[in-house]
Amino acid sequence: MNHLDRLENISIHILREAYASFKNLCMLWSIGKDSTVLLWLTRKAFFGHVPFPLVHIDTNYKIPEMIEYRDRLTREWNLMMIVGKNEEALEQKQTFPDGSVDRITCCRNLKTKALINTLNGSWKRLRYNHHTNRYEVDKNTEPYTGVIVGARADEEGSRSKERYFSPRDTYSEWDVGDQPPEFWNQFKTDFAPGTHLRIHPLLDWTELNIWEYIEREAIPTVSLYYNQGGGKRYRSLGCWPCTNPIDSESRTVREIIDELRSGNLKNVAERSGRAQDKDDGGGLETLRREGYM
């Protein structure tokens, strides 16, 4: 068994443990490489089936290729897809692209608030109807009490403080200092009523592991990750006004793996193209304490 096999086995174990332990689960799918690997692992864990809804928080400013990719895989893999959105903030133009708020407030409006209210069922949710091939209002407003997330400890500082099973309060706020200990494969899955859970099956994966696994499993990823002729590619995906590509000649998964192994990106943070990280003091802890992904 090699290192990828061990990582895969741990992630599948966490997914099955979460499904067995918690009701009303959902999984966040940002369309990025990590959450797409997580989706692939989930299909492996449950023999080609994803037994809980996927939730995508649509800010209206995602790069168009991301939305096209989302809807294509939703159809091809017959996924239960839920989309949440902060319609009020968009209608009132309380966004950074509209010039009325800064980037952090825009993330708080379009991502954090949209996520929390989508999870607790207090805002309208859209569900993809595979018969009509359209998104329609979801009649189910029951809260999701456990959320599976594709966060990795090495991606960004605040994520390194997470646990595999990480509790939040009923408002999805995160007390970083109040985390259960996790020793080896001993995980705490017994929490007080009202606890909201974030579950992180990819916590010990690295960026290199993700790309090695994508290559091994031939996982389809959005084309934005590859240089398509301009000498640039996206390393981390987000909203187009606040996400910039990096300089890179990598056009294939193998070339990205070689680029990471070469050390050419050693001093370049994976989320260096995400402007909101810089505005949050170089990380995301402020937003993530409030319930951000």
What domains can be seen in the chain, in order of their start residue?
3-205+281-289 (3.40.50.620), 207-277 (no CATH)
pLDDT digits (tens, 9 = 90+) for 102-121: 999 999 999 999 999 999 99
CA atoms within 13 A on the CB side of 250: 25
pLDDT digits (tens, 9 = 90+) for 4-28: 999 999 999 999 999 998 889 999 9
Q: In this predicted structure, what is the pLDDT of residue 187?
A: 77
Burial of 128 (0-12, 13-18, 19+ CB in 10 A): buried
Binning pLDDT at 50, 70 and 90, where does residue 156 land? low
Q: In this predicted structure, what is the pLDDT of residue 266?
A: 79
Residue 252 reports pLDDT greater than 80: yes
pLDDT digits (tens, 9 = 90+) for 157-216: 565 677 888 887 766 676 666 777 776 667 777 887 877 888 999 999 999 999 999 999
CA dist., res. 111 & res. 286, Å (int): 13
pTM score of the predicted model: 0.89
Burial of 249 (0-12, 13-18, 19+ CB in 10 A): exposed
Tell me which DSSP letter residue 247 carries: E
Q: Which residues pair with 81 in a beta bridge?
A: 54
